[in-house]
Chains A and B, each alone.
Chain A
Amino acid sequence: MSALLEQLAPEAALAEDRYADIRRRAHQRLMQHGFPDLKTEAWKYTSLRLLEKRELGSGQGESAGAPEALPFAADVIHFDGGVLRNPPAELPTGVRLEPLDPAELVNVDYGDRAGAMAWLNLARFEQAWRLVIESTLERPLVLALTMPAGFATAVHPRLRIDVATGAEAVLIEQQHDEGAGLVNIVEDIELQRGARLRHVIHRRNAESIWVQRTRVSVSADADYRCHALELAGRLVRQDLAVHLLEQGANGEIDGVAFIDSGQHVDWHTAIDHEVGHTTSREAFRIMADGSGVGVFNGRIHIQRGADDSHSDLNTANLLLSDKARINIKPELEIYAEEVTASHGATIGQLEDSALFYLRTRGLPTEDAMALLKFGFAAAPLETAEPEVVRNWLIEELQAVL
């Protein structure tokens, strides 16, 4: 992997801006640890060798043009080609966008090689933004990140999102990549006391390698809910860690990934109950067709003293073809006593009896299969709010089935 280090992180090319010290530290850590390989537990099922094989050009990506229109009213901030080219002239009431203060980055730690991509981001990010949602938003806020067909370089977007005390928002990450480069995102989301965030990730990629690390901190009585529709790409790795920091915090993740030939998707989620009287729930589903590979690692961690925490994780997965593969690892790590924590996991296929039942009602095999797949995959999206967003996600899912 040393070739990869040279290619992706030539020290001389580090930007000499106001983040320069931070970049140098990150670069050193990256050089010290190197990139993960299949022996790195967190990367056991996903290899970055593809990255090594690819010769990524340097320089910023091109503009990708406007993001796809959404079937509902929303405010859009467009990261065109991975960067914010022109700060929006007008932001909705209650939203502030500003460059991230370097002081916020001085003490970040991504650990050893498992965190290499985040170190890489910290050394190389083009821009670092802080988005503050100060009060309840009237309509969904869309962070559109689009990459054009000719994209063949690397971008390292970095974003910090704060949802202020008592504020409520629907935040949609609309990610669409038609290129063949590297998108390496780090985002940190903080929910202050009593805040509510409906976080939607809608992603559809082509040949790019897409690595995203999302860390969510949830304060007292705040409520974080994520709905993800992963329509995959050549290689996608999403880390989503939800930290329940204070009593009354709730975290929920509902996701579905549809993976087809030539695609590899790896979702690593972690819900960390740092104190007691916190709750979480997760439901994640993968459908793998063709030669697609799906990986899901879902961790529930209840720390010492976090009594009266409750957590449940469920993952159901469908293998639709003989060449597809699914690897899953639901984990429980429990150090407190008065808790309930459980997980259930299945890997299987469409039920023959259900298929037959539908056919006796007159549905041709193909329609019956599509209906069963849809029924399977739509479940996690049924809880998305508001309704317009839910309907949009479900239609998007239907479109690929």
Chain B
Amino acid sequence: MLKINNLHVVIGDEEILKGLDLEIGPGELHAIMGPNGSGKSTLGYALAGRDGYEVTDGSMEFEGEDLAEMEPEERAAAGLFLAFQYPVEIPGVNNAYFLRSALNAQRKARGEEEVDSMNFLKTVRASLKSLKMDEALLKRAVNEGFSGGEKKRNEIVQMAVLQPKLAVLDETDSGLDIDALKLVAEGINAQRDGKRSFLVITHYQRLLDYLTPDRVHVLSDGRIVESGGEELAERLEAEGYAFLEETSEA
């Protein structure tokens, strides 16, 4: 599904990712953990194709395609989804209209029929309901006036509607209370069908408690320094990121 090889990413004059390797197979859920400033969000943005995140070396292959050659919308149409750590407010653009435009643009790019509005609304309503979000949000502007938690849940609603092949969730758990966290986790689990893959970027273990990741990676100073199973996340939680230094010295 996703194959990242020796990825170097530079922002301005500063190299943030310094040779990152990562491979995610179909249906797998991987978690990337790491301290602040380790490059977690940079990875998400680089995958989605944000301006100013320059790939200077290495490669990112998504289903055999070179992501670096694709525009952000082409990556989306190919099935890559980024749930933003800070979802952007778009005043004046209504949520439902936005989501439908996005879905249809992706379908069009893939040569598929546009979705009819009845079916669209049905899907959206179901997603909203499962995340315990008010339907009135559909009529409001995208993320505008949403609470922090609502914004995060709204990302999961979008994921459910857009049905990506790979969802990259950038600190979707931060700022959520425990009930919202469970809802988000349920939203993610509901999408796990054995084919769809997930990359969960997080600072804490608590979301992983509900997700059972296949692999956990530790990102430090722009590289994956350790990989393992769920137990790695527990160890990080118990010992903190300080042990990384010992690891790198060792």
Contact present for B93 and A375 (CB under 8 Å): yes
**B residues in contact with A378, CB < 8 Å:** 92
Q: Which of A354, A356, A362, A368 contacts B103 (CB 8 A)?
A: A362
Measured CA separation A379–B141 after assembly (Å):
10
CB distance from A185 to the nearest CB of B (A): 31
Contact present for A376 and B91 (CB under 8 Å): yes
Measured CA separation A27–B131 after assembly (Å):
71
Q: Which residue of B lies closest to A285 (CB)?
A: B92
**A residues in contact with B101, CB < 8 Å:** 363, 367, 371
Contact present for A372 and B90 (CB under 8 Å): yes
Measured CA separation A372–B144 after assembly (Å):
13
Indicate whether A2 reaches chain B with its CB closer than 8 angstroms: no
Measured CA separation A361–B158 after assembly (Å):
9
At the interface with chain A, which of B76-84, B172-180, B218-226, B232-240?
B76-84
Measured CA separation A356–B87 after assembly (Å):
11
Q: Which residue of B lies closest to A376 (CB)?
A: B92
Indicate whether A142 reaches chain B with its CB closer than 8 angstroms: no
Q: Which residue of B lies closest to A373 (CB)?
A: B92
- Residues of B32-72 whose CB lies within 8 A of A: 48-51, 71-72
**A residues in contact with B99, CB < 8 Å:** 361
* Known A371-B98, A375-B141; contact A362-B93, beta-carbon cutoff 8 A: no
Per-position 1/0 for A344-364, Cβ under 8 A of B: 000000011110111111111
Contact present for A356 and B106 (CB under 8 Å): no
**B residues in contact with A362, CB < 8 Å:** 73, 76-77, 102-103, 105-106, 109, 162
Indicate whether B118 reaches chain A with its CB closer than 8 angstroms: no
**A residues in contact with B72, CB < 8 Å:** 356, 359-360
CB distance from B138 to the nearest CB of A (A): 15
- Residues of B209-248 whose CB lies within 8 A of A: none
**B residues in contact with A372, CB < 8 Å:** 90, 93
Contact present for B71 and A359 (CB under 8 Å): yes
- Residues of A224-243 whose CB lies within 8 A of B: none
Indicate whether B190 reaches chain A with its CB closer than 8 angstroms: no
Indicate whether A374 reaches chain B with its CB closer than 8 angstroms: yes
* Known A352-B51, A356-B51, A371-B93; contact A361-B76, beta-carbon cutoff 8 A: yes
Contact present for B105 and A364 (CB under 8 Å): yes
Measured CA separation A215–B2 after assembly (Å):
65
Q: Which of A358, A360, A364, A367 contacts B90 (CB 8 A)?
A: A358
Most buried by B among A357, A365, A375: A357
**A residues in contact with B90, CB < 8 Å:** 354, 357-358, 372, 375
Most buried by A among B50, B88, B89, B103: B88
Most buried by A among B81, B84, B102: B102
**B residues in contact with A356, CB < 8 Å:** 48, 50-51, 72, 88
Indicate whether B8 reaches chain A with its CB closer than 8 angstroms: no
Q: Which of A354, A365, A379, A382 contacts B88 (CB 8 A)?
A: A354
Measured CA separation A278–B76 after assembly (Å):
51
Measured CA separation A322–B101 after assembly (Å):
29
Indicate whether B153 reaches chain A with its CB closer than 8 angstroms: no
Contact present for A364 and B73 (CB under 8 Å): yes
Most buried by B among A353, A374, A377, A382: A353
Most buried by A among B71, B91, B158: B91
Q: Which of B75, B91, B93 contacts A360 (CB 8 A)?
A: B75
Measured CA separation A377–B91 after assembly (Å):
10
Contact present for A359 and B73 (CB under 8 Å): yes
CB distance from A400 to the nearest CB of B (A): 16
CB distance from A149 to the nearest CB of B (A): 34
Measured CA separation A379–B105 after assembly (Å):
24
Q: Which residue of A lies closest to B93 (CB)?
A: A375
CB distance from A335 to the nearest CB of B (A): 34
Measured CA separation A330–B141 after assembly (Å):
27
Q: Which of B75, B88, B106, B141 contacts A357 (CB 8 A)?
A: B88
**A residues in contact with B50, CB < 8 Å:** 356
CB distance from A362 to the nearest CB of B (A): 4
Contact present for B77 and A360 (CB under 8 Å): no
Q: Which residue of A lies closest to B158 (CB)?
A: A361
CB distance from B192 to the nearest CB of A (A): 21
Contact present for B91 and A365 (CB under 8 Å): no
**A residues in contact with B98, CB < 8 Å:** 358, 361, 371
Contact present for B92 and A360 (CB under 8 Å): no
Which residues of B line the A interface, CB within 8 A? 48-51, 71-73, 75-77, 81-82, 84, 87-93, 98-99, 101-103, 105-106, 109, 141, 158, 162
A and B contact pairs by CB, cutoff 8 A, 6 listed: A352-B51, A362-B76, A362-B102, A362-B106, A362-B162, A378-B92
A353-B88, A362-B76 are known; give 14 further A-B pairs, CB within 8 A. A356-B50, A356-B88, A357-B90, A358-B102, A360-B76, A360-B81, A361-B99, A361-B106, A362-B73, A362-B102, A364-B105, A365-B71, A376-B91, A379-B92
